Amino acid sequence: MKYRKTRLTLSGRLSTKTIAFISVFAAFHTTLYLISPPILWRNWAIYLAPIEGIVLGPWAGFSSALIGSTIGRIIVPTPLWMFGIFSEPLSVMVAAFLVRGAWKKVLAIQVVFFGAYFACSMGRSLPFWPLMDAVIAACLVFPAAKLSKNIFDEKAYLLPASLAIVSFITVATDGLARVFLLIPAGLYTILGMTPAMVLAAFIGGGIDSFIEDTLVVVVSLFVGVPIVLTLRKLLSINKPLS
């Protein structure tokens, strides 16, 4: 009886609509990774992450981003594959949690990352300013969770502000997750990076992150808002799919 109930629950969650949306967003995620020019630190999939989380929800969004980021790196391999495969699904989940109002889960993720960073001697030796966007994002988690509840409501005039703040926290958390892998998780030693190389990468990545933060917010306002409004009107999506 218990097995049957579990199977029915999973079947209910894996609706045709949800599977279709996971597939479509995973394809978009892969495509954006493949066409990204090597200009800034991260690939263009970060522009999709907020919408991916808002529409799909926590587990479906995580699954979509994981599938898309993995397929992209199988097609075009990179020695830094682990950064995107870890941070991109996580950032999508963060966006979904914010829309669900689960701000404590988002804050818990950030506390773990910051705690691990400052517990690491390498982290304490680096300048703090490249992490300022992540600090600001952490301060905005609670108000973002309260404000973003209107994303699927009829109050369209609040949608731009909601989407902008969710997008900023999403991309800032993505960057913090990459820092977590590089420094507290010790990937810099596996990659053979000296302290001087870590410092250069940390400062360069911080500068790129500030630029990408701005770009993600701008894209969310001019592209993300019309997408959410279209999905809300044409497909009658009034809440995340998971």
What confidence tens digit (pLDDT) does each residue in 75-99 have?
999 999 999 999 999 999 999 999 9
**Per mean pLDDT, which range of 145-159, 171-185, 190-204 is the poorest?**
145-159
| Predicted structure pTM score | 0.90
**Residue pointed to by tokens 């950064």:** 83
* Domain segments of the chain as ranges: 2-234
**Residue pointed to by tokens 């609509």:** 17
pLDDT number for residue 230: 86
In this structure, which long-range contacts are made by residues 16-24, counting pairs with CB atoms below 8 Å and at least 24 apart in sequence? 17/241, 18/56, 18/60, 18/241, 18/242, 21/55, 21/56, 21/60, 21/64, 21/241, 22/56, 22/60, 22/63, 22/64, 22/67, 23/64
Q: Furthest-apart CA pair in the chain: how many Å?
A: 60
- What would the mean pLDDT of 38-61 be, rounded to a whole number? 90
pLDDT number for residue 155: 65
Residue with more model confidence, 11 or 157: 157
pLDDT number for residue 237: 72
Q: What pLDDT digit, counting tens, does each position of 102-128 carry?
A: 999 999 999 999 999 999 999 999 999
- What would the mean pLDDT of 1-21 be, rounded to a whole number? 58
Q: What pLDDT digit, counting tens, does each position of 121-170 carry?
A: 999 999 999 999 999 999 999 999 988 876 777 566 788 889 999 999 99
Q: Please, what is the average pLDDT of the chain?
A: 89
Q: What is the DSSP letter of 41?
A: S
Q: Which ranges of 14-80 would DSSP assign to H, the alpha helix?
A: 16-34, 45-56, 58-75
pLDDT number for residue 14: 65
Helices 103-119, 159-182: inter-axial angle, 10-degree rounding: 30
pLDDT category of residue 229 using cuts at 50, 70 and 90: confident
pLDDT number for residue 6: 37
Residue 9 predicted with pLDDT over 50: no
Q: Which CATH class name applies to 2-234?
A: mainly alpha
